[in-house]
Structures are given as structure tokens and as C-alpha cells.
Amino acid sequence: MRPIGVFDSGIGGLSIVQSIIETLPCEDIIYFADQKNIPYGEKSEEFLQNRSTEIVNFLLSKNCKLIVVACNTATTMAIKILRERFSCPIVGVEPAIKPALEKTTGLIGVLTTVATSKSEKFNELIKKLDREKRVIVQPCPGLVEAIESSESNLEVIDNLLKNFIQPLQSQNIESIVLGCTHYPLIREAISSSIGDKIQLIDSGEAVAREVKKQLMKNNIYSDIKELRKLQIYTSKSKEELKNYSEAWS
């Protein structure tokens, strides 16, 4: 009956939470949005390791039984340290490149943050999986900040997307991987930019499956047949969190 803990630098991880709820409706979830420190992509590895440790300690103080690091950057920079420091199961996130390669035969675009595009772990993943050189990485500077900003509107986001998606469309890609947990929150805007012939793929479903696998493996799976509750905490203003989450829900 203990909750699952999930955290990200802002509201992006709520896209992962939605997938977990769909897969595991009988589980309580506690979500921590570290909005005070967004974006994680501009933070050092040492900062992310220390901050992630602080957040996991907070979630464990709330009696969480499993932790989901719902951020590609934090997963890359901190998950190894977290697994060394804590005994509970910890699930990370990585761009859904493998599912995209399995689902399509042509070129694949990957929308990522600048930090993810430069990370050694991310580039090693591509090198390992993409032996046919089908993956095209497109960093999206400023997109996460636009999604999180209370002053942004769809026109601002649409203009950013055009700059990021046009280079991919010019190469006739067949699918786009949403390589940041914030990006599924603007799935409709991305779909409008690319049309209905290009498939969008994100990590939510794969993460939810791994969470279920770890719960079963560790015998901490809830079988209470009722919809459980979601609690959300933030390191910034509760009112801002409410406004942001309502805007992209």
C-alpha cells in the first residue's frame, strides 16, 4: 500500500505519471516537481547527484517503496549514485530509441534537450542500437523552459517547434522520439507541426512496464482494486505548479 515516488525538474514527469496510472491504477503516487532548479540540463553532475539524493530522501520520508527518476538528464547524471546509496528499486528514463527502431524501417528523429544530446550515456545508447545510422538527433534549446513558463503560449511553442522539426522533415523521417519527459505534454502541438504521417514515440509506456516489473519482482505490488491517489509537491510555488499543470493537462 506504500506509494511510488516520482520526480523531475518540473511538470514534465507528469507525462510519466500518466502512463504509470494507466498501467497501475491501484498504486498511490507521490510526485515531486523540482521547479526551483529547472532546467536540470544547465546543472552540473555534482549538483544533480546531490539534489537527486535530497529528493529521494524526501520521497522515502513519505514512505515510498519505489522511485522513478522521470528525467533523462537526471537519469544520465545521477541514477548510478542513487542506486549505490539507496536500497529501494529505482527506475530511470531514457529516450525510446529502441522501440522506435523496432517500429519503423526509415529514418528516426529524436527531439532532446541540449544536455541529453551531449551526454555520453545517450550517445553510447545510440551507437549501440543504431547500427544502420537511422537516428537523427535534434536538440531543442529553450523548449522545456517555454513549457514551464507561465508567460508562454502555444504560438511561442509552435515557433520553437518549427525550427526544430523542419530539419527532420527535410530528411523524410518516419517517426519522432520525444526524448524529454516535458515533450509529451505538448504532443498535440508537435502533431500539428509534423502532420499525421510521422509517428510520435515517447518513453512513458516502457517506464510504466518497468515499474510494474520491479514491483512484482520485489513483491511490493498493490492489488487493491480501486483507483488510488496522486499527491504532488513542488520546490517552488504551489500556485505556479497548479497553473502549469492545468495548462498542459
Looking at the annotation, which residues are catalytic? Answer: 71, 180
The DSSP H or E segment spanning 238 is: helix 238-248
Contact 4, 29 (CB under 8 A): yes
The neighbour count for residue 81, using CB atoms within 10 Å, is: 16
The neighbour count for residue 200, using CB atoms within 10 Å, is: 16
Residue with cell 555520453: 120
The neighbour count for residue 172, using CB atoms within 10 Å, is: 9
- Whole-number Cα distances in Å, 215 to 69, 78, 145, 157: 15, 22, 33, 37
**Cis preceding-peptide flag for 25 (omega within 30 of 0):** no
Antiparallel, parallel or unpaired: β 175-178 and 108-112: parallel
Q: Which residues contact 27 (CB under 8 A, 6 or more apart)?
A: 3, 4, 20, 21, 215, 222, 228
In the DSSP assignment, the letter for residue 234 is: E
User: If we measure between CA atoms, which residue out of 28, 11, 12 comes closest to residue 20?
Assistant: 28
